[in-house]
Amino acid sequence: MRLHRLESIYTDVPIYYVTICTHQRRHLLANPQVHDAFKAFAENAQQHDIFVGCYVLMPDHVHAFVAFGAEAMSLSSWVKSLKNILSKCLRHQNIPVPHFQKGFFDHVLRAEDSYFEKSEYMFLNPVRAGLVTKPEDWQFQGEMCELNP
């Protein structure tokens, strides 16, 4: 059996498109306290060589672009830490555990992927879900760092 060559080789820091879902798709995340906890976590991550780009908190899942520098923890460790922080926030709101599904979904952006197109698709998520009529009306979204793919 002959191995296939990789079509893309990464010389820069890869950007991950991450999706984290709540347990049984419960509507837990679209609230100001969770949003504040997410933003504080993402801002603090910069001190650990981790950079969160565009993100959207939906009621039952989070989408985010994340880049990891050479000194950063693994993606799995970062997601685990994020879930812990958000769960702590939810427990303070007296929302019983479990809060999140085990695991998460991730996709590494390849050269042919467009960060802009994927972020536009992500920001339209609340519109497609019928939560708002325009993406900019959804208050639980933003961009922490400008990521340059």
Predicted pLDDT at 109: 87
Distance CA 81, CA 77 (A): 6
What length does the chain have?
149
Which residue shows structure tokens 């400008």? Answer: 146
Predicted pLDDT at 112: 62
Mean pLDDT score of the chain: 89
Predicted pLDDT at 69: 86
Tokens, residue 80: 């685990």
Q: What is the CATH topology of the domain spanning 15-143?
A: Alpha-Beta Plaits (3.30.70)
Predicted pLDDT at 2: 44
pLDDT digits (tens, 9 = 90+) for 46-97: 999 999 999 999 999 999 999 998 878 889 999 999 999 999 999 999 999 9
Q: How large is the C-alpha radius of gyration of the chain?
A: 16
**What are the residue boundaries of the structural domains of the chain, listed by start?**
15-143
- Mean pLDDT for 29-43 is 97
- Do 46 and 25 meet the contact criterion of CB atoms below 8 Å apart? no
The pTM for the full model equals: 0.88
For residue 23, the tally of other CB atoms under 10 A from its CB is 13
